[in-house]
Amino acid sequence: MKKVFLLLPFLFLCCKPISSVVTETTTSEPLSIEYKVKENDVAKTLKYLASDELEGRETGKAGMVKAADYLEQFFKDNNVKPYFKSYRDTLTTFKETAFNVVGVVEGNDPVLKNEFIILSAHYDHIGLDKNGVNGDFINNGANDDASGTTAVAEMAKYFSTAKNNKRSILFVFFAGEEKGLLGSKHLAKKLKAQDFKLYAQFNIEMIGVPMKRDYLAYITGFDKSNMADKINGYTGKNTIGFLPKEAEYKLFYRSDNYSFYELFKVPCQSVSTFDFENFEFYHHVSDDFKAMDIAHITSFIQELLPAVSQMANSPTQEIIMLK
């Protein structure tokens, strides 16, 4: 396992009517959200994205396009509008045709709606294995990063119906992450040229299995901003902790958050529950749906919803860079 990590440069390189269940947003105490994320919904999206039909979702290949079709339809079905003229943001950083999938839920505050939070995950993976393992040649990428993609999709569903966000939220599924962060590099440059006002980016990477720790997840670049501390305040739980391995492997620089940090210099961080001890199938054909803990993914989304809601509603800029 450790040998694999050293060889790979991109380690990181995921009921009541919604409209009536959210309490008034404050920044002094945790937000209560009664809306319940459904395990069946989580399983449905994750199972399709990690299915053999998509052949590992390699950027530029037919399986990637099928995944994009699914995610675009998911946005349409849940009334998430395209941010550009269409949901597809064609990459200028890749020789073949590939695209990010980008939707938006506009904020409801006349001033704060001009600021954006980006919730993101990469929907591409590494495709087919030339050699295979026990006759299996498909790198399904359930944990990496169909799990994170599913989480972003479920959050988009919530906010598109709740409509309780003062800031606007951009929901982004990146292509080209496995090719060198190509999708995020393209979109960051494009948005920067438009004078896009980015409040923070919350990128979700590999959340398919739980950690055996006293916190739910960790973020990359833990000490670069106060995001971890704020999230814990927003949820009222020990949701985010510090993982020494994250600093050792410099994961902050190895996922799609870095493309935005590099240009915008605001808090842009990835959250994960993969801790180098709880999942042995990184870039492996056994990273498939049956290896995923659906209950854990569902509870992850549920626990982070109040935090994202607070990010979208704080009257001032509470999440800031520390160094």
Task: State mean pLDDT over 120-124.
Answer: 98
3-state class of 95 per DSSP?
Answer: coil
Q: Taking the CB of residue 282, how many other CB atoms lie within 10 A of it? A: 17
Q: What is the mean pLDDT of residues 115-132?
A: 96
pLDDT value at residue 220: 98
Q: Say what the pLDDT of residue 191 is.
A: 98
pLDDT over 80 (residue 17): no
Residue 24 has pLDDT above 90, yes or no: no
pTM for the full predicted model: 0.91
Average pLDDT, the chain: 92
Question: 3-class secondary structure for 68-85?
Answer: HHHHHHHHHHCCCEECCC
Domains of the chain as residue ranges with CATH? 2-13+26-313 (3.40.630.10)
Give per-residue pLDDT as tens, 125-174: 999 999 989 899 999 999 999 999 999 999 999 999 999 999 999 999 99
For the stretch 273-323, pLDDT in tens is 999 999 999 999 999 999 999 999 999 999 999 999 999 999 999 999 997
Residue 22 has pLDDT above 90, yes or no: no
Token pair 């391995």 in the structure block, residue = 245
Confidence check: pLDDT of 10 > 70: no
Residue 273's nearest CA partner among 125, 90, 115, 144 is 144
pLDDT at residue number 18: 36
CA 41 to chain centre: 17
Residue 56 region by backbone torsions, left for phi larger than 0, else alpha for psi between -120 and 50, else beta: left
Provide the 8-state DSSP code for 149. H
Q: What is the pLDDT of residue 3?
A: 37
